[in-house]
Chains A and B, each alone.
Chain A
Amino acid sequence: MEKRAVMMAARVAFLAATAFLLSACVTREPFIPANLPPGAQARVELESTPFFPQKKYQCGPAALAAVLGASNVDTTPEALVPIVYLPARHGSLQVEMQAAPRKFGRLSYPLSRNLDTVLAELNAGRPVLVLHNYGLPFWPRWHYAVVIGYDSATDKFILRSGKKRRAEWRARTFMVAWHNGGRGATVVLRPGEIAASANPTLYLEAAADFERGATPAESLLAFDAAVKRWPEEPMAWIGRGNAEYRAGNFANAAHDYAAAVRLDPDNAGAGNNLAQSLLDLGCPGRAREQLAPVNVDALAPALRAAVLDTRRRIEAAGASPVSDPSRCSPQS
């Protein structure tokens, strides 16, 4: 008799638990429709994204080869293993995955950690490299995969992942793994291309990192796009000015630095670079004027050293007469 009561109680508890779980399922909101940016398509699948089945532990090189391939870089996971694979860790680190596209003349743009940015990039035709964690807090299993599409009607993502050319994932499953992986997501950009969801700070940082290994012509493309997209950003003008300067186009460089100084008169970096380009244009008088109000003691050491250096070069050039007054006034 007592046993039956216990059984009954257990049955009721089980039904209540099941009902609770079911109700939890029913009230769950779909992820993709809730995060679609305005004007986004209901369904996207970037079928032309290449696929490379991963070898043991080498999902990093495989996923990277796919996003690079989608950006017209002809490479293979085998070629990427020596660049991003860490044998002792049986995997690839995010920091190296992030840096790798720059070796192929591409910018690596990290998306802000929201789902809408991923959906925006897919709409713009760019596959997204994501870091997933399929494990548990004390037993993480990290995995790189490439999102190539989504279907808002079924709330599913479409991925190239591991050994699967085409995997459909419930958005919830995707979100769990992505969230636990720290929501890392990256797109690969050609110089001159700007991410659909781009934010000026993140883009300009990505472009500055790209500049390190790029030719001045490539940097020029990257920063020219930034100037056009965010003309109110002094850093965009400085970046384009630096690319022009390195290409030897001092007049164009001076024009861009002057625009940066106009937007941000206290920007000593822009002022220094303007003075240097004026000096290269044969205008030491204007260069000296440019740096006269700068209080070097208030500057960070690297910047202070640069300004003092420029001042020394200006003084060494002496007060040679201005040969062409028009090119000495890039502001006008």
Chain B
Amino acid sequence: MKFVVSIVCVAIINMGMAGAASAAIVDTAVLVTPDRAVDMSVVRTQLDRADVRAKMEEMGIEAADIDRRLASLNDRELHRLAADMQNAPAGGADAVWIVGAVFIVLIILELTGVIDIFKKA
């Protein structure tokens, strides 16, 4: 309960800030692709931010680095990060793995019909 309250507080505080920032001229990022989900409610974005922060801590990132990482993400990227953290490709394969994996993949690809992929490419 305490957690929910704190999230809502953060959301409300940030809502005020976002309102102030959007005064005067409209940001390029808001206009550049109208179909980007710009109307997504600010509260939802801020909830995501809190959510991502909690997940990042869980995944072993130092608290001091989390803000720095989140600061450069736009809302769209933040949503993607929230969704990606559990399952999306995280490049990091090791050299030893690679040698073995490449070998298996190449054999299988050469023997099966996967070659077709490239006729279109």
Residues of A bordering B, CB below 8 Å: 21, 24, 28, 31, 54, 56-60, 63, 82-83, 85-100, 102-103, 114-115, 131-136, 139-144, 162-164, 172-173, 175-177, 179-182, 201, 204-205, 207-209, 211-213, 223, 235, 238-239, 242, 245, 253, 267, 269-270, 272-273, 276-277, 300-303, 305-306, 309-310
Contact = CB atoms under 8 A, between A and B. Distances in A.
A207 B26 contact: no
A160 to B, nearest CB: 13
A30 to B, nearest CB: 11
A131 B104 CA distance: 19
Given A89-B90, A143-B98, A136 B32 contact: no
Given A86-B61, A162-B98, A300 B39 contact: yes
A134 B31 CA distance: 38
A235 B31 contact: yes
B69 A83 contact: yes
Contacts of A97: 91
A139 B92 CA distance: 14
Contact of A58 (B24, B28, B71, B92): B92
A136 B108 contact: yes
Contacts, number: 205
A238 B31 contact: yes
Nearest to A163: B95
Interface in B39-98: 39, 58-62, 65, 68-69, 71-74, 77, 80-81, 84-85, 88-95, 97-98
A29 to B, nearest CB: 8
Contact of A31 (B73, B104, B118): B118
B29 interface: yes
B39 A238 contact: no
B77 A98 contact: yes
A135 B90 contact: no
B85 A134 contact: no
